[in-house]
């Protein structure tokens, strides 16, 4: 007798037969959710949830409160989703592969998934060694990037405390438009001047927008496919 697979079993069977990397976003989420509800099977539930949240790329930004406020997600499923997202984040952050920044594009590739969808401006520094390998990534300021509020002292003390010899400054524009403002230009000017005084090379200040970035060293806007070197 041939067993008829339930809707819940379909994604798992597909993953085993052709590989989990071949599953759609809703099929992957369906495996995590396991079951649907009274009015939707698990695939329908997954598809609706991804639609409401704006796609899988926005799942990482969803809070626990947001998740359990959505129809079909109870407390247990909300916690399971948060745990899986946290595991992925920790695996990514714990990688031992040295990250080398030889171009603004390399910076954009590392930071775009983290910063492209943020609702507030975040100012991040990448502290580098003499071969431009990453020592530390740190968010220093959150909120409007105002030249008077960005502390050069804090930026360079942080860099020197980790024996950094170079740094890259990055911030995002929540609007998605990576073109610099007058304030951005002023911050960059102060960064470059302070770097010379502190004997720390400021390789660039990069603004991340939606699938684009602005490099102050390159003095232009780039899309995600452009390749340039420091």
Looking at the structure, do residues 147 and 181 belong to the same domain, yes or no? yes
Domain count, the chain: 2
Long-range contact pairs involving 181-190 (C-beta distance under 8 Å, separation at least 24): 183/145, 183/146, 183/147, 184/145, 185/216, 186/147, 187/145, 187/147, 187/150, 188/216, 190/147, 190/150, 190/152
For 17, the domain range is 9-93
196 shares a domain with 125: yes
| Domain contains 23 | yes
pLDDT on residue 3: 42
Instruction: Tell me the pLDDT tens digit for each residue of 81-133.
Output: 999 988 988 887 666 556 788 888 889 988 988 898 889 999 999 999 999 99
- pLDDT tier for residue 225 given thresholds of 50, 70 and 90: low
Domain boundary at 73, 93, 113, which?
93
pLDDT score at 154: 94
Predicted local confidence at residue 149, as pLDDT: 76
Please check whether residue 89 lies inside any domain of the structure: yes
Asked whether residue 178 carries a pLDDT value surpassing 70, the answer given is yes
| Model pTM above 0.95 | no
pLDDT > 90 fraction of the chain, expressed in percent and rounded? 57
- pLDDT of 96 reads 58
Say if residue 187 is in the same domain as residue 217: yes
Q: How far is Cα 57 from Cα 62, in angstroms, rounded to an integer? A: 10
34 and 76 in contact (C-beta within 8 Å)? no
CATH number for the domain that contains residue 210: 3.40.140.10
Phi and psi at 207, nearest 5°, equal -105, 125
- Which residue, of 72, 93, 114, is where some domain finishes? 93
49 and 109 share one domain: no
Final residue belonging to a domain, choices 30, 61, 93: 93
Same domain, 123 and 61: no
Does a structural domain hold residue 230? no
Question: Tell me: the pLDDT tens digits for 15-67?
Answer: 999 999 899 999 999 999 998 888 999 999 999 999 998 888 888 888 899 99
> 137 and 84, same structural domain?
no
- We report the CATH number of the domain holding residue 44 as 1.10.150
Residue 227, pLDDT above cutoff 70: no
């Amino acid at each position: 007798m041939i067993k008829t697979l339930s809707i819940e079993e379909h994604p798992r069977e597909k993953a085993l037969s052709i590989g989990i990397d071949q599953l759609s976003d809703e099929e992957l989420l369906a495996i995590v959710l396991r079951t649907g509800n009274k009015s939707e099977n698990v695939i329908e539930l997954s598809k609706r949830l991804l639609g409401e949240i704006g796609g899988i790329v926005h799942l990482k930004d969803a809070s626990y409160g947001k998740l359990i406020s959505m129809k079909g997600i109870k407390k247990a499923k909300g916690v399971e989703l948060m745990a899986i997202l946290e595991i992925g984040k920790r695996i990514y952050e714990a990688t031992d592969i040295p990250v080398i920044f030889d171009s603004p594009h390399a910076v954009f590739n590392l930071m775009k998934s983290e910063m492209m969808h943020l609702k507030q401006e975040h100012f991040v520094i990448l502290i580098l060694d003499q071969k431009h390998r990453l020592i530390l990534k740190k968010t220093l300021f959150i909120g409007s990037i105002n030249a008077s509020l960005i502390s050069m002292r804090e930026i360079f003390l942080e860099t020197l405390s980790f024996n950094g010899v170079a740094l890259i400054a990055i911030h995002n524009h929540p609007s998605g438009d990576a073109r610099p403002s007058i304030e951005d230009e002023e911050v960059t000017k102060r960064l470059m001047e302070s770097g010379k005084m502190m004997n720390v090379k400021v390789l660039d200040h990069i603004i991340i927008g939606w699938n684009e970035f602005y490099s102050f060293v390159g003095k232009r806007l780039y899309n995600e496919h452009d390749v340039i070197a420091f």
